[in-house]
Copies of this chain bind each other. A is one copy, B any other.
Amino acid sequence: MIARPMAEPTLAQRLLDGDRRALARAITLVEDNRPEGWELVREVYPHTGRAEVVGFTGPPGAGKSTLIGALTKARREAGRTVGVLSVDPSSPFTHGALLGDRIRLSEHFLDPGVFIRSMANRGALGGLSEAALQAALLLDAAGREDVFVETVGVGQAEIDIIDHADTIVLVLMPGSGDSIQALKAGVMEIPDVIVINKADHPLTDTMVREIRGVLSLANLERTPEEARALWRVPIVKTEASLGRGIAELVQRLTEHRAHIVAAGELERRRARNLRGEVLAIATARLRHRLEEDLHADPEFQRLLTEVVRRRLDPASAATALLEREGPLSAR
């Protein structure tokens, strides 16, 4: 009897089985904005929601990649599989601020239990963050138990990938004066966990005190009931390059997860995040289509010339453009 070739498993099946090459291929598809990529996410989406997604944000140079590398090591030792997504919004002239940091994750490159991917392609429809969101869902569907998402904390993007995380970690270093001022002024949101990396620096403890001050100020604004139910944001000192403080960070992350699960907050957070994602994707697509339409539209060029010549103001030009565009925009 001649052995008949078995039917090739589909990309979705291989991805759900945790096949690394399938995962890599799938992320490339969403990064390149290929219809098969979107279709794939649609297909595997029912298998998502199992990963514990932790987002790392903070200024460039604080050591986020090194920290994630150390954390990955700890999670591997605990027998868990890890996916890392580095989302790099830096300008083309620096050729990727975070891509260079991948080197710091290189000790994990040969471990099949770790999957690392950097994304910096801005060409995609809806932008980098939309593709990153799809990639995070793919990592989740592929059975990665921990998904670490790294991004520079400069919320420029319409769809901020950090909003997809269950737990948000702000990584600072001694010298992160601007970030502390931004927390104090309320222009940066209070995260779930604060890490001060490079904590061998003599100014570390001064910094811890400053942050404690900011956090207690934020608490003053809450009612006593809110304050009791509230997660107390821990400040963890680390020296990620030496592995110091990582055990404590793992502990705090575990506690935060237990807290949001017990309080029903995890579900609420995810529902809110998903709602925001749907709206953000829809808006990004509308804008993309508007820009495409305008690019080919001689009337847009005429209106712009009128604006530049100070004969038509920008808001009236926007109104005129939207009137040309159909029902959603014409009202």
Chain A residues close to B by CB (< 8 Å): 38, 41-42, 45-49, 59-62, 89-94, 97, 130, 133-134, 137, 152, 154-156, 158, 173, 175-179, 181-182, 184-189, 218, 221, 270-271, 274-275, 277-279, 281-283, 285-287, 289-291, 293-294, 303-304, 307-308, 310-318, 321-322, 325-329, 331
Please tell me if the beta carbons of B137 and A313 are within 8 angstroms of each other in the complex.
Answer: yes
A282 contact set on B, CB distance < 8 A: 290, 318, 321-322, 329
Please tell me if the beta carbons of B286 and A185 are within 8 angstroms of each other in the complex.
Answer: no
- Whole-angstrom CA separation of A184 from B62 in the bound complex: 13
Copies in the complex: 2
A290 contact set on B, CB distance < 8 A: 279, 282-283, 286, 328
Please tell me if the beta carbons of B156 and A286 are within 8 angstroms of each other in the complex.
Answer: no
Least Cβ–Cβ distance between A99 and chain B, in angstroms: 11
- Whole-angstrom CA separation of A173 from B175 in the bound complex: 12
A286 contact set on B, CB distance < 8 A: 283, 286-287, 290, 322, 328-329
Q: List 19 other contacts, CB 8 Å, given A60-B181, A177-B178, A325-B327.
A: A42-B313, A60-B185, A60-B187, A90-B185, A93-B221, A94-B185, A97-B187, A133-B314, A154-B182, A175-B178, A177-B177, A271-B308, A274-B314, A275-B308, A278-B304, A278-B307, A279-B291, A285-B329, A286-B329
